[in-house]
A and B are shown apart, each in its own frame.
Chain A
Amino acid sequence: MKKNIFLLAALIGLGMGTTHAQVQKGSVLIKNATVLTITKGNLESSDVLVQNGIITQVGKNLTAPTGISTIDATGKYLMPGIIDAHSHVGLDVVNEASAPITAEIRMKDVVNPYEIGIYRALAGGVTISHAMHGSANVIGGQNATLKHRWGSKDPADIIMQDAPRTIKFALGENPTRVHGRGNGIQPRSRMGVEAVIRNGFNEALQYKKAWENYTLAKTQKGNTSTPPTYNERLQTLVDILDGKIIIHCHSYRADEIYMLINVVKDFNIKKLVFQHTNEGFKVAPEIAEYTMGASVFADWWAYKMEVYYSTAYNAAILQKNGALTSINSDSAELIRHLYHEAAKTQRYGGLTDEEALAMITINPAKQLGIEDKVGSIEVGKQADLAIFEGHPLSAYAVPQMTFVDGIKYFDRNSDQLDQRQWVAATEMVEPIHLRANEEAHRCMQDVDAYFEAFQGAFFSEKH
């Protein structure tokens, strides 16, 4: 189909650039669904018209313009595509664990559109994932927001190019273990973590000043000032200070969450989201007051010391305190049933359907800065949609079809046994064994390899 579009473009002479394959946009009319708009209530037996990747009409008895196919969703639920605010799917590298600050690292450099996890996420109704750097460093790399356009070969085609920049921070045990215990450098303690962040921002301020001075002097006659060293690590911190990048910070304990709130206040940084945030319930009002909220697990804890004091009521408590809250996966397995994870907030905390679904749609969209484009079913928004058999919060929910920009990338009826995009010519085909205990989460990926040369035994937990 893609080929045909290319041919057509060539014939008409549109001069469609082959270097930057255009992202595909589709048109479709979905009829008679129970439409869960998230922001504008539920609409019974309603239709959603998508034209060229954008939702153009939501209502009853819509007719498809010529050339636009219709999908009958009678008895089914239509919801906005699920958004996962914490994922490592589709990345060839997760941790550049070699320095406490690696803000210059770009996850966009290492996006792998062939990874099967993307298709599996689509099969769980997930259309957008936040592909994050890992948590080995206090300030890790810049993340990529991915649109799950399965089948794309160019990494640029699955990156949501109109999403704002975000960056990974990490507090607590991971960075202190990797750098302090592992390498004998700062940070060795939670205090060290704070010092690394503060020193980083202060250095960034000096860096900014140095370049401002140079740029100004350059225009003067008889200038003798020479260019400062280029440092993308510090420039990225400058961009955070300038409000161009949203911080997404891996955190567990209430004290360190509150610490970071104070640090960003001191540096007048407004864009901050906490990730994991297991003790967020202790500082929910503070999170609500100053940050863009928290993205948490539904019920996952006790995998290391700092994650023992946890509760499944965390999301509900945060929500009731007015903190913007989302439920994330951080896992190639959980990402396939985030709707189920969201439903847990109803069992633990009694959230309404709308509140629970918001935690995997509009709320994560807000935390990623893309709520004007996705996260709800509204006219003018990008047509990232999921059709469910059964209400998505029901234990019997089964995703049927998933659309990104109006293009159907998953259909349960045409799901193949082997959905891989790429197979190596040298693959030795071995019998497939189902394994239990497979490591599902990748927050500390690449860290083992980084340390195995001279140590390693103490890396038993990963988050």
Chain B
Amino acid sequence: MNKQFLKAGMLGLLVAGWLSQSVWAQSDPTGKRRVTSTYAITNATVFKSPSDPGSKATILIKDGIIVGVGTSLTLPKEAKLIAGDSLFAYPGFIAGAGTMGISKPKDAERPKDFVSSNPPDEIAGITPWRAAADFYTASSSQVEDWRKAGFTISQVIPDGGMLPGKTAILVLGDSKTNNFLNNNAAVAANFRSSRSMYPATLAGVMAKFRDVYQNTALVLDHERMFATTTGVKRPQVSPTQEAMKAVVQKQQAVLFTAGSELEIRRAIALQKELGFKLILTGLENYESVIDLIKSSGTPVLIKLQLPDEKSIKAQKSEGVTEATKAQYARVKEAYDAALKQAALLEKAGILFGFSTADAKASEVHQTLKTMIDNGLSEKAALAALTTNPATILGISKVAGTLEKGMLANLILSTDTLFKEETQIKHVIADGYVFDYEIKKKSQKTDTSAVKSENPSNAISVEGVWEYTSETPAGSSGGEITIKRDNGVLGGTITYDDPSGSGKASAPIKNASLTGKTLSFEFEVSAGGMSLSVLISGEINGKSMDGALSVPQMGSFPVKATLTSPNLAN
């Protein structure tokens, strides 16, 4: 049923695309349709692949394909020119195992005869038939954020339990088109247990994984018999087994999320025992298992985020005992080692890319720079962002390099990629051009200097803001009260109480105003859990436009208006 739904959806998208192309091509009441799908980036410094030293060339793209890269191209009249003279062109980044734009499936209803010792697969987090494609929203602000960071293709994984579903590979292109390259790419797996039912622990998850796998293999045997022999009883294949067949037949890989060394070992142990194709993702601590990864030939997607520096910054230099200092030293040692891990993968010759799950798009540039400062070569970094993931995801024929015939996915930056000051000016994804504002660093520091000396020059944020936010659960809103106390921003926010009716209120934490961007966090408690919500928005006069993001759930648009300014005065 899910599949049919998907097919119908795909058909719908195709039909819609076709309609918009041909039937409505004559008029465009929205005025948003682009004038041309042909672009030429002229005279840019082009890096075709990680090993390319870079040379001046013009790139011609048409209908989402690179139709030429060279110095003597004939540019068609309809080509819109982008002056690339001061720009550096790179293949668009590719990420594996992301969660951008993915919404959480609705909780399945518990049957009346529910028994926690033997729950239905769907409730126990065993939903390999689900497709990430069905839960993807191309217009999500997370997709926007990652594209802004240079990513043009991503694999996305569905949200869920131990076998959440099938991954999809998509282009981060125009949100109104169908962006899928492959919506049945691999089956995602992780060691996440189902709370309060079987499998309730990591040990249960491993046992259940074996059970699902072995019984899928038996069902395949049964089906083969049924097809060839008369008198064989009809095979009854569960949706889980149906979805796992391709894994057992080694046509599809299992994309296993394994953050720690022990999880990596456990995933590889399961792979050795059962024999499926394995890709590891979300790796955070892997220094001691590099040899194992290498010898098992497992491709890996490491987490594109380094450990939080908070613990290092919290270390005090005075007033602590020698014993505490020794503990500090061990944490520092672990921290330094963590930064060097990516370089060790390169040294070991392991095929690795990045996973963007649980990583912050805004920190990508810094993260990559830190990895490079700690021994990763720029060439290997670029390969991990382009050609390696293309190989791992099986799309190297169409993506990963800037060559004729490849998908028109590229980055135009202000300097070579990994310099501190480098900024991304344009990202072209699926042949659509996305422009980004280039911030002038020097000016920015000037204004912030003025601001800190004279806060009255700062943008006025104090007062009561009325906000609304659009979430999948509907529209909600409340009031944000911002105050500045001794130069420190703070205040409160009200929101629709998730555990009932009316409004709840929470204090604002970590508020900051950088340029025109106001951001802050607050905690929402619901059902005994506490969620940290981040609001970040750009202020223009009395209005603010931005996003509200909830970890693991997604990012949703937020709009606010300043209704009673200067409350504090």
- Does A413 sit at the interface, judged by CB under 8 A? no
List residues of chain A with CB within 8 A of the CB of B199. Answer: 96, 98
CB atoms of A423 and B330 under 8 A apart: yes
Question: A419-443: which residues lie under 8 A (CB-CB) from chain B?
Answer: 420, 422-429, 431-432
CB atoms of B201 and A93 under 8 A apart: yes
CB atoms of A92 and B291 under 8 A apart: no
Scoring B residues 213 to 246 as 1 if CB is less than 8 Å from chain A, else 0, what string do you get? 0110010011001100111110100000000000
Which chain A residue shows the least CB distance to B262? A112
Give the complex CA separation of A10 and B201 in angstroms: 40
- Does B37 sit at the interface, judged by CB under 8 A? no
Given contacts A155-B265, A426-B307, A428-B310, contact A105 B207 (CB under 8 A): yes
Which chain A residue shows the least CB distance to B225? A226
Give the complex CA separation of A424 and B312 in angstroms: 11
Among A96, A232, A428: residue with most chain B CB under 10 A? A96
Give the complex CA separation of A425 and B338 in angstroms: 7
**Could you say which of A278-286, A291-299, A448-456 contacts chain B?**
A448-456
Give the complex CA separation of A232 and B273 in angstroms: 14
Give the complex CA separation of A415 and B44 in angstroms: 62
CB atoms of B327 and A418 under 8 A apart: yes
Question: A382-432: which residues lie under 8 A (CB-CB) from chain B?
Answer: 417-418, 420, 422-429, 431-432
From residue A153, how far is it (CB to closest CB) to chain B in Å?
5
Give the complex CA separation of A326 and B306 in angstroms: 49
Which chain A residue shows the least CB distance to B330? A423
- Which of A92, A99, A423 touches B198 (beta carbons < 8 Å)? A99
Give the complex CA separation of A422 and B289 in angstroms: 14
Scoring B residues 396 to 437 as 1 if CB is less than 8 Å from chain A, else 0, what string do you get? 000000000000000000000000000000000000000000
- Does A141 sit at the interface, judged by CB under 8 A? yes
Chain A: residues with Cβ within 8 Å of the partner, total of 56
List residues of chain A with CB within 8 A of the CB of B314. Answer: 428-429
Scoring A residues 211 to 232 as 1 if CB is less than 8 Å from chain B, else 0, what string do you get? 0000000000011101101111
- Which of A112, A232, A424 touches B211 (beta carbons < 8 Å)? A232
List residues of chain A with CB within 8 A of the CB of B203. Answer: 93, 96, 105-107, 109-110, 141
Scoring B residues 33 to 49 as 1 if CB is less than 8 Å from chain A, else 0, what string do you get? 00000000000000000
List residues of chain A with CB within 8 A of the CB of B324. Answer: 429, 431
Give the complex CA separation of A420 and B326 in angstroms: 12
Among B200, B233, B310, B324: residue with most chain A CB under 10 A? B200
- Does B318 sit at the interface, judged by CB under 8 A? no
- Does B51 sit at the interface, judged by CB under 8 A? no
Main secondary structure of the interface of B (DSSP, over half): helix
Given contacts A92-B202, A426-B308, A429-B311, contact A109 B266 (CB under 8 A): yes
CB atoms of A227 and B211 under 8 A apart: no
- Does B550 sit at the interface, judged by CB under 8 A? no
Give the complex CA separation of A446 and B314 in angstroms: 32
List residues of chain B with CB within 8 A of the CB of A424. Answer: 307, 331, 334
CB atoms of A109 and B116 under 8 A apart: no
List residues of chain A with CB within 8 A of the CB of B207. Answer: 96, 102, 104-106, 109, 232
- Does A68 sit at the interface, judged by CB under 8 A? no
Give the complex CA separation of A154 and B288 in angstroms: 9
CB atoms of B195 and A109 under 8 A apart: no
Which chain B residue shows the least CB distance to A431? B324
Give the complex CA separation of A154 and B265 in angstroms: 8
CB atoms of A99 and B117 under 8 A apart: yes
Chain B: residues with Cβ within 8 Å of the partner, total of 61
CB atoms of A230 and B214 under 8 A apart: yes
- Does B210 sit at the interface, judged by CB under 8 A? yes
- Does B6 sit at the interface, judged by CB under 8 A? no
- Which of B116, B206, B261 touches A106 (beta carbons < 8 Å)? B206
- Does A183 sit at the interface, judged by CB under 8 A? yes
List residues of chain A with CB within 8 A of the CB of B231. Answer: 224
Give the complex CA separation of A98 and B235 in angstroms: 29
Which chain A residue shows the least CB distance to B197? A98
CB atoms of A454 and B196 under 8 A apart: yes
CB atoms of B196 and A417 under 8 A apart: no
List residues of chain B with CB within 8 A of the CB of A28. Answer: none
List residues of chain B with CB within 8 A of the CB of A451. Answer: 196
Question: B281-311: which residues lie under 8 A (CB-CB) from chain A?
Answer: 288-289, 291-292, 294-296, 307-308, 310-311
- Does A95 sit at the interface, judged by CB under 8 A? yes
CB atoms of B211 and A183 under 8 A apart: no
List residues of chain A with CB within 8 A of the CB of B335. Answer: 425-426
List residues of chain A with CB within 8 A of the CB of B505. Answer: none
List residues of chain A with CB within 8 A of the CB of B226. Answer: 226
Given contacts A226-B232, A425-B334, contact A96 B218 (CB under 8 A): no
CB atoms of A98 and B204 under 8 A apart: yes
- Does A18 sit at the interface, judged by CB under 8 A? yes
- Which of A99, A109, A450 touches B118 (beta carbons < 8 Å)? A99
Scoring B residues 96 to 129 as 1 if CB is less than 8 Å from chain A, else 0, what string do you get? 0000000000000000000111100000000000
CB atoms of B200 and A446 under 8 A apart: yes
CB atoms of A98 and B116 under 8 A apart: yes
Give the complex CA separation of A246 and B240 in angstroms: 34
CB atoms of B328 and A95 under 8 A apart: no
Which chain B residue shows the least CB distance to A137? B117
From residue B411, how far is it (CB to closest CB) to chain A in Å?
30
- Does A210 sit at the interface, judged by CB under 8 A? no
Give the complex CA separation of A392 and B324 in angstroms: 34
CB atoms of A185 and B211 under 8 A apart: no
Give the complex CA separation of A185 and B116 in angstroms: 10
Which chain A residue shows the least CB distance to B221? A227
- Does A69 sit at the interface, judged by CB under 8 A? no
CB atoms of B200 and A97 under 8 A apart: yes
CB atoms of A453 and B196 under 8 A apart: yes
CB atoms of B202 and A453 under 8 A apart: no
Which 10 pairs of residues, A with B, have the shortest CB-CB distance? A99-B117, A98-B198, A425-B335, A425-B307, A230-B214, A425-B334, A98-B200, A224-B231, A93-B201, A96-B204
Using A110-B202, A232-B211 as known contacts, list a sample of 4 further A-B pairs with CB atoms less than 8 Å apart, ordered by residue number in A.
A19-B295, A109-B266, A224-B233, A426-B308
Can you list 25 A-B pairs with a CB-CB distance of less than 8 A? A93-B201, A93-B203, A96-B201, A98-B198, A98-B199, A104-B207, A104-B210, A109-B202, A110-B201, A153-B261, A224-B229, A226-B226, A226-B232, A227-B221, A229-B215, A229-B218, A232-B210, A418-B327, A424-B331, A425-B338, A426-B311, A429-B311, A429-B314, A429-B331, A453-B195
- Which residues of A does B touch, CB under 8 Å? 17-19, 92-93, 95-100, 102, 104-107, 109-110, 112, 114, 141, 153-156, 179, 183, 185, 222-224, 226-227, 229-232, 417-418, 420, 422-429, 431-432, 446, 449-451, 453-454
- Which residues of B does A touch, CB under 8 Å? 115-118, 195-204, 206-207, 210-211, 214-215, 218, 221-222, 225-226, 229-233, 235, 261-262, 265-266, 269, 288-289, 291-292, 294-296, 307-308, 310-311, 314-315, 323-324, 326-328, 330-331, 333-335, 337-338
